[in-house]
Structure 1
Amino acid sequence: MANILVVDDEHGIRDLLWEILNDGGHQVELAENAAQARSARLRERPDLVLLDIWMPDTDGVTLLKEWSSTGLLNMPVIMMSGHATIDTAVEATKIGALAFLEKPITMQKLLKAVEQGLARGTLRKTASVDVLPREAVNLDSVATVLTVAQVALDSGPQASQSFMLDKPLREARDEFEKAYFEYHLACENGSMTRVAEKTGLERTHLYRKLKQLGVDLTRGKRSAL
């Protein structure tokens, strides 16, 4: 059982998330604005926070920045919104958010994100105590890279893509790189010139890399038809 803080100005959303998470055996604290969230964060020390982006007093991204700058962002935070752009989601993950859920949130996506968030929080605590020095494995950087990729994929042509971290490094890296290049090919409608510019690779190197990874070079062009 985990202690989860839900921050959302919509009463219906708060009640729904409380019901789902409570049925899952979690202890749930509710806050309808940033002021209540600050108090709950200090009082309850949550294991995970579900934080709405658009709120009337202080928006979720601003509150996230506040927690980060004051050393209070030591728990996984999952952002939620029905109107946020990819840029907003990426900004939040760069600040320190673990993931982004788009409203309306399905039960399956919510429970999966919560499960991954709690697992990531446990991994971070374990690593910081007795596994490796932070300089050796920067878990925050790894989390940010994978989360930004997942945000982009959830909103783009690879919506079902996910990355499993319990694989050999080379295999996991190849999966990530393949998804990364497929995403950019789709965004640029298959234009190798623009993909090369976006990824910082020379065209010849890019072609070799895509061939090595088994990337379908016609996918982006087909999606534009």
Structure 2
Amino acid sequence: MAKVLLIEDEYAMRQMYATMLKTDGHEVLEAEQGMDGYSQAINNKPDLVFLDFRLPDTNGLAILKMLTENKDFNSPVVILTNYAGDVDTDAIKAAGATAILLKYEVTPSMLVEKTREFLGKK
């Protein structure tokens, strides 16, 4: 299956998503900080990245821009957030996000379905 990178600072959320993705057969890479996630994305070339919008060291938009501006990176990036009102969806889409998902609406099994959808494996 696919290699998926989770850039998420909330440990419980990251573990819950990682467990479901691993159960579905995916290789899961994890990062708690944005810059660590960026490094993992560039070095490990995941097939898909789930990127939290609010991170301790930076925000998801900054990491998204860094990824999409890197000529060696071309994987889909999906923004995860709990703060729908605080997110500039136009700026996120303009920066190249594949989608924006609200964490409180996405169950772990739904994340697996979305992963398949984003990877083109329905």
Above 0.5 in TM-score? Answer: yes
Normalised to the residue count of structure 2, the TM-score between the two structures is 0.88
Report the counterpart of residue 100 of structure 2 in structure 1. Answer: 100
**Structure number with higher relative contact order (C-alpha < 8 Å, ≥ 6 residues apart):** 2
1:21-57 superposed Cα distances (whole Å, 9 cap, x missing partner): 0000000000001121122112211000000001121
Contact 1:53 1:84 in 2 (8 A): no
In the aligned structure 2, how far is the partner of 1:72 from the partner of 1:99?
21
Matches within 5 A, 1:114-193: 114-119=115-120
In the aligned structure 1, how far is the partner of 2:97 from the partner of 2:34?
16
| Structure 2 counterpart SS, 1:119 | coil
Amino acid paired to 1:106? T
More helix as a share of residues = 1
Contact 2:8 2:52 in 1 (8 A): yes
Amino acid paired to 1:117? F
Aligned-residue sequence identity (percent) comes to 31
**Superposition RMSD in Å:** 1.8
Normalised to the residue count of structure 1, the TM-score between the two structures is 0.50
Structure 1, unaligned stretches of length 5 or more? 121-225
In the aligned structure 2, how far is the partner of 1:16 from the partner of 1:47?
20
Q: Which has the larger radius of gyration?
A: 1
| Structure 2 counterpart SS, 1:17 | helix
Give the CA deviation at 1:92.
1.2
Structure 2, unaligned stretches of length 5 or more? none
